Each structure stands twice: as structure tokens, then as C-alpha cells.
Amino acid sequence: MNLEKLIPFFADSPVNDAFDDVMQELQIKSRPKGPDATVFVRTPDEQLALEFAANVSFKEDRTMPAKSDEAYLLAGFDAYAGAPHKLPFGLFWDMDIAKVRAALGESRKAKNHNATFFHSGLRVTCRFEDDAMSKLKSIGITVIDIHAKELYNL
């Protein structure tokens, strides 16, 4: 599946039938619940984790308006190398930092195997296998939070 299909559901709840269909396509059976401010649900192979924020936390901390009043809203996802899913924004697992920059623009921060980008109104964190940033290991795409907005002057 193309993970770009998840992006329109940021700030939304899996109570949305179309979002629930995407979660079923990913074979994710569990839905976010409980008392925690952040809940992760994973695909059976654990190569993809969806991050849900409690509605109150989402509305206080995220820069995107909530699309639902349900208990948990999609705040982001993490995909790991080997995931059988197509990455968004023209990214591929075999990319090095130069190719990622060509796809996403200049990184706002790059150190210790990680590079942070802001692309299409989202925060994209690329984690690499080594200091040379020669190959992607994982990617996280999240709704920008108020702290990043202030820190990076967005």
C-alpha cells in the first residue's frame, strides 16, 4: 500500500469509515483506546506504527485542526525499512541523505543518523543506518506540533 493514503487522515479518527478501510487494508485490527495521551497501533509485521494522540492533547499541541471529536486522532506514523509499503513524497528505502534532500528539500536539522524536514505541512524525520546517512532505516511523518513550530520558526 502507498503510505501517502494515510496523510489525508491526519487529525482524524478511525471512526471515519474511509480511514477504517485503510486500517483494515493494513491489517491493523486494534483501535486506539485507554487513558494514555499517545497510543501506537502497529501492523502485524510491526513494520508500520500509527501514532494516535488523545483529542485534547492533539488540539493543544498540534498545528493542524482536529477533524473529529472522537477520543483519538491520527498524529503520525513511523515506517521501518523492509516495510512492504510505498513511501510518500517520492522516497525509497535505498535513498541516501542527498537523494532525500532532492525529494524533500533542505533538512532543518541533521545529526546522529537523523535528518528533520518539513514538507507538505508535515514534519518528516528520516533515520539512517549510519553517520554517513547512506541508507534510510526508518521514516516518521507527523503533524507539526507547537514546539517544532516555535523551535524551527515555522
Q: Which three cell numbers stand for residue 114?
A: 537523523
Mean pLDDT of 118-140: 96
* pLDDT-derived band at 74, boundaries 50, 70, 90: very high
Domain boundaries, the chain: 3-151
Residue with grid cell 543518523, as numbered in its chain: 113
What's the mean per-residue pLDDT of the chain? 95
* pLDDT-derived band at 55, boundaries 50, 70, 90: very high
* pLDDT-derived band at 130, boundaries 50, 70, 90: very high
What is the SS3 assignment for 44-74?
Answer: CCCCEEEEEEEHHHHHHHECCCCCCCCCEEE
* pLDDT-derived band at 133, boundaries 50, 70, 90: very high
